[in-house]
Copies of this chain bind each other. A is one copy, B any other.
Amino acid sequence: MTIYDISEKAGVSIATVSRVLNGSSNVSEKTKKKVLDVIRQYEYTPNAFARGLGLNTMKTIGIMCADSSDLYLAKAISYIEQLLRANDYGSILCCTGYELETKAASMNLLITKKVDGIILVGSNFIYEREADNQYVTDAAAQVPVMLLNAALDVPNVYSVVSDDFTSMYEATLQMIRAGVKDIVYFYNSTSYSGKKKLAGYRAAMEEKKLPGGSLMQFYSGSHEDIPAMVEQLKKLHRRGVSFHGVIASDDTLALAALKYARESGLQVPRDLSVLGYNNSMLAMCCDPELTSIDNKLETLCQHLTTTLMGVLGGNEMPKKTIFSGEIIKRGTTR
């Protein structure tokens, strides 16, 4: 069933059918109804490929994320996909893994598929070295690129971020003020937002003239391997480093700290204070429940989508938007 069939059965030209299909105004009510009736009768839907060829768009956005099974990224994808669909855009998903090479390859793939825009979900897409971000700049030469939780100042790239520096700074300060000594910073990412968080922690520690050094613990294992995270804290303890607080760069690491405490017979928060990040569902599944930083993911996603729609609509849009986070106090901190 093509537009020709419909036009024939309705006794009009294909142009008219096309007009009613696209809601063009210049069609009389009568012919419109006639055409619509035929369309409904035969359950006709226009061929998306032909349409795409003519309009040079199929109204789809490419969504890239390192790993869609990561709790936080998955949530973001879920929000974004729904928002896009509400705006009549489809989503092509690409789980890229964490290597630069595969990220760049996925990017090219999406451009090949002629998406209207690309959303990079998660801060791990932006690297420290300028050259490593070239793939983003290149892509932005073709289609608008949106960054969630990362920023890059090049043309046609739009960034929506949470103010991770300030959140972490405030949280660290708060823990210091509560009298917690020797606060470990436990992190697993040196991405854009990873660096911001670390910087927030360091700024607070330095402000209070507290030593950093071995208190900054970088975990490089699998994002899901909690026992390995626990082991790293145990090893730290065995090395003679004493600590009474753990500020983690995400909830999973914080959960590991909690588990470390339990296995070591430490009371939380009496002997060990623990702070998470993301305020994910994980924060509620432990006991005591996890104090965590809410970085307003839904708000970020909403803003990101709105901005993208604006850009696609040819409007001038803000290149970078920053939202504040919020510390959600629960049972793992004093």
Contacts and interface: CB of A to CB of B under 8 A. Distances in A.
Contacts of A262: 287
A132 to B, nearest CB: 21
Interface in A68-101: 68-71, 74-75, 77-78, 81-82, 85, 90-95
A313 interface: no
A70 B71 CA distance: 8
B92 A90 contact: yes
A148 to B, nearest CB: 14
Contacts of A63: 93
Interface in A19-56: 45, 47-50, 52-53, 56
Nearest to A97: B82
A77 B75 CA distance: 13
A68 B68 contact: yes
A252 B285 contact: yes
Interface in A243-285: 252, 255-256, 259, 262-263, 281-282, 284-285
A60 B92 contact: yes
A106 to B, nearest CB: 8
Contacts of A78: 67-69, 95
Interface in A97-119: 109, 111-114
A317 interface: no
A263 B281 contact: no
A122 to B, nearest CB: 13
Nearest to A62: B90
Given A60-B92, A69-B75, A50 B48 contact: no
Given A45-B111, A49-B52, A85-B94, 19 more contacts: A49-B56, A49-B58, A49-B114, A52-B53, A53-B53, A58-B113, A60-B92, A67-B78, A68-B74, A69-B78, A70-B74, A81-B94, A82-B95, A85-B109, A92-B93, A252-B281, A259-B287, A262-B287, A285-B285
29 contacts: A45-B111, A47-B114, A48-B112, A49-B52, A49-B53, A49-B58, A52-B52, A52-B53, A63-B93, A67-B78, A68-B74, A68-B81, A71-B71, A78-B95, A81-B93, A82-B95, A85-B94, A90-B109, A90-B113, A91-B93, A93-B93, A224-B281, A224-B284, A226-B281, A227-B284, A256-B285, A259-B287, A263-B287, A286-B286
